[in-house]
Structure 1
Amino acid sequence: MVDSPFSGFVWMMGSRVMTNGRLRVAVLKDRYPMQFMTARHSRHELDWRRFLPFTLLSHRLEGFTVLAPGKRVDLVHSSNRIPLGVQKYILSFEDSAPRRFGFAQDNLLTRYMDDCIGSHRCRRLVAMSYFARRRFLHQHRDNPMLPALQDKLTVRYPNIILRDAPDPLRDDPCTELVLTFVGAHFARKGGCVAVKIAEKAKAAGLPIRVNVISPLEMGAAIWTDPEREGFYDEYKDLLTLDNVDYSARLPNDVMRGKLRQSHFCVLTTFADSFGFSGIEAMAEHTPVLGTRVCALPEVVQDDVNGILIDMPVDSLGMWVRPADTPRSSPAYEGYFRSEVDRIAQGAIERLAPLVGDGETVQAMRRAARATAEARFDSHTASQYWDALYAEVADEDLASVPRRREPLLPDPAPLKRSEFGGSFAYSFDSQQH
């Protein structure tokens, strides 16, 4: 078992601290991903803990953290970051674990983090998707601890609260289509595509209106984006089109209201660990217009609960961008611009026949809601997480961690892209 340099913090762990089978679980209080990966209606007491963000010192230190002191707890549930100094924890993750972005080679720190998740203190590893599981297995393909890691590796989709309300567009004739894009990272998540769809629709005389909700974060700090600030002027100018409604930020309930009144959610992402706006849309009966990349093909079935535009991807499902082409170069800008245009044109070609076809759109909306109910319902998820917390709390720390539930086959086996290009995959270079 790994001895942490923060071993002084282990006092926060205790034996069963609550009665009647009710546990106290320390949960990482991040900005928002953690709420999708824990029990929203728990029978246990969830103690949401602030944490020390080592990324303030360096982006390379995203893979671990220290939780704030608090009451004694039975176990810790953390997301993406290894909680140092605790005796028993569950680690759920969006895309890879441990996060070692910025480290091209193994070193003492990355090996220490691997030892942490391989120790008996880490009782379960919970991937947010089968895409995340593929990335994890690829990341640890040469790790001698891989068999032990696989024993405690499982998959659980995010969850969301489903309102018990009918579809407000159930009788809509779809004579005008409304699309809504939501995402802080404007270019990476598909905002450039969204406004290009609006531009192309206007030029073609198609009645398509686009809502954009984004603080417009883009550029050098985001690993998919062209670096030059002026590159984005042509897309920002499109926010003023008369068929575009732009908001920098909206409260979550207002944002979900926009999705509820939209015919499609736009998630034409270049790289996304999951895409929470997609499941928020499905919860509101709204299908997803997305790209066939990362975890989206697990969630969106083309022509059933949404529309998928093909992307050049590698064997793990990651977007393939030009090799050895700096993001600061005109060549990269040209490629990114051409991809935005291609995806937008593909979207227009798929959307145009749906104008006035309320029957087809309604079928997609029913399927989108059914997907949310079957896969993302918060009550079902709460039962899963509560049972897992009880299971882990009862385990002897000296025992070998092993998941009890069977792991289902990957539901989205990848096919080689029709776009050509190399399928050699570099885990670390995708992020920084």
Structure 2
Amino acid sequence: MMRPPKVLRPFGYPSQFNTPRNPRHVRMETRKWLPLHKIWKPFEVALLTPALDADLIATFNRIPLGPRPFVITFESHLPRLFNYEDSAAFRYFSRRLASRRCRAIVPISGFARKMFLNQHQGSPLYEALLAKLTNPIHPNIPVPKSRPRADRRQAKTLRCVFVGGHFIRKGGLSVLHAAKVAQQRGWPIEFHIVSNMTMGARNGVWTDPTNLDFAADLLAALDLPNVHHHGKIPNAALLELLSSADVSLLPTLSDTYGYSVIESFAMGVPVIGTACCALPEVIEDGYNGYLIDLPVTDMGIWDQLWAHDHDSPEYQRILRTTAEDVGMSILSRLEALVHDRGLLETLSDNAFQTAQDRFDASKRGPELEALYLDLLGAPSVA
């Protein structure tokens, strides 16, 4: 009997969401890779790992070096060489994507696909890259058979959870502004913050100014009695927290996807997020959550992100105003849910149904396996 092909995936959080979790027809092996980006940041584009024993490499964002064939899933730009688009390195890695070693280029969203096509518009490799570019394959997650979130119609408080390491980029200031106003008004809403509070341009956060004094009073809201800061917690603890929540919040300024959205859905928790990047493809306004308006470019990116010097007073004013405006929009949605617990339960059911229909690993995994087998020319599976 022929052995199933070996598919190698790199170790890392995103790989869990973008490869089969319980494969039956391929042998998935997770392997660590050399962190070349610690030598030079642009090396983040590359994946270097022992792979000669693999039939196929299934990678995320990083373009493999070496002779083995690969399929690459990506979230926005590819190659990820920001500000090096005119470099020899960009041309080299683009040629690797166009080469026969690259069997398929898989966007995780329509947003990612559009970004990729825009990035390579006018390139002599455009047609070769387009031929490899698939339709979006969204991330997958284990989804329980029944909704983990309990019916909280009789609960005395509305419990919200915000998840995001890059606190300002993910919209944490908007959440804190909403918490501050809710506390002032005496509304029964509690806010749980799961974040290691990474902030500032010096820490590599591309939405943030260097000086964070503009946000000092908003950050002080972390000490309010209706705010509970959990820091960074293990994923199992996060899912447990989400399963006891009513609403998940992701009012992000820049987020290619937002895995916390589908993790929330899998627990039966609706999400309030901003209408940018890929979030409108996932959150259906009024069905499984709510979308907060944010002015965006034709590509779906917040239109102020690159419009100003991030250390200018004008950009800091815009950040502050945006945080407050989005925070008030969040609060208006939460107020409605405080007064209509039946609506909340409907949103919860719909969020869980979305997870089952669109993101369940037991359904998406076989599709990915079939893609791998097709790319290798192996017999297809039913």
TM-score by length of 1: 0.83
Distance 1:387 1:167, change over 3 A: same
1:77-156, aligned counterparts within 5 Å?
Answer: 77-103=58-84, 105-154=85-134, 155-156=136-137
1:16-415, aligned counterparts within 5 Å?
Answer: 20-30=2-12, 32-43=13-24, 44-67=26-49, 69=50, 72-103=53-84, 105-154=85-134, 155-173=136-154, 175-220=156-201, 221-321=204-304, 324-394=307-377
Deviation at 1:108, TM superposition (A): 1.2
Deviation at 1:229, TM superposition (A): 3.7
SS in structure 2 opposite 1:224? coil
Matching residue's letter, 2:335: A
SS in structure 2 opposite 1:25? strand
SS in structure 2 opposite 1:188? coil
Q: Matched residue pairs, number?
A: 374
In the other structure, the counterpart of 1:13 is none
Paired with 1:180 and 1:168, the residues of 2 have a C-alpha distance of: 13
Deviation at 1:50, TM superposition (A): 1.2
Paired with 1:280 and 1:171, the residues of 2 have a C-alpha distance of: 19
Report % sequence identity.
34
| Alignment gaps of 5+ in structure 2 | none
SS in structure 2 opposite 1:282? helix
Distance 1:295 1:46, change over 3 A: same
SS in structure 1 opposite 2:192? strand
In the other structure, the counterpart of 1:398 is none
Paired with 2:354 and 2:149, the residues of 1 have a C-alpha distance of: 18
Does the Cα contact within 8 Å between 1:188 and 1:269 map onto a contact in 2?
Answer: yes
Deviation at 1:348, TM superposition (A): 1.0
TM-score by length of 2: 0.94
Give deviations 1:382-430, integer Å, cap 9, x for gaps: 10111111112227xxxxxxxxxxxxxxxxxxxxxxxxxxxxxxxxxxx
Give the CA RMSD over aligned residues: 1.6
Paired with 2:305 and 2:291, the residues of 1 have a C-alpha distance of: 22
SS in structure 2 opposite 1:210? strand
Deviation at 1:291, TM superposition (A): 0.2
SS in structure 2 opposite 1:187? coil
Paired with 1:186 and 1:118, the residues of 2 have a C-alpha distance of: 37
Deviation at 1:302, TM superposition (A): 0.7
Paired with 1:91 and 1:349, the residues of 2 have a C-alpha distance of: 41
In the other structure, the counterpart of 1:420 is none
Does the Cα contact within 8 Å between 1:128 and 1:158 map onto a contact in 2?
Answer: yes
Deviation at 1:324, TM superposition (A): 5.0
Deviation at 1:339, TM superposition (A): 0.3
Paired with 1:194 and 1:322, the residues of 2 have a C-alpha distance of: 19
In the other structure, the counterpart of 1:419 is none
